[in-house]
Amino acid sequence: MGMIEELVEYSKLAWDRGLTESTGGNMSVRIDANTIYITPHSSIKHFLKPKDIIKISLDDRVIEGDGEPSSERKMHFLIYKERPDINCVFHVHPTYATAFAVSNERIPINTLPEAALLLREIAYLPYRMPGTQEFADVFTPELKAGRDIFILQNHGVTVIGKSIKAVYEKLETLDFVSKVVLTLKMSGEKIKEIDEKDVKTFLESLKL
The catalytic residues are 72
Give the type of residue at 34: N
**Cα–Cα distance list, 195 to 114, 198, 202 (Å):** 14, 5, 11
Please enumerate in sequence order all residues whose Cβ is within 8 A of that of 31, keeping only pairs 6 or more positions apart, or say none: 3, 37, 55
Main-chain dihedrals φ then ψ at residue 37, nearest 5 degrees: -100, 140
Main-chain dihedrals φ then ψ at residue 4, nearest 5 degrees: -65, -45
3-state secondary structure of 56: strand
Side by side, the strands of the sheet bearing 62-64 are 62-64, 54-57, 35-38, 26-32, 88-92, 156-161, 149-152, 123-125
44-47 long-range contacts (CB < 8 A, ≥24 apart) are 44/15, 45/11, 45/12, 45/14, 45/15, 45/20, 46/12, 46/15, 46/16
Cα 67 to the center of its chain, rounded Å: 23
HSE of 190, CA atoms in CB hemisphere, 13 A: 3
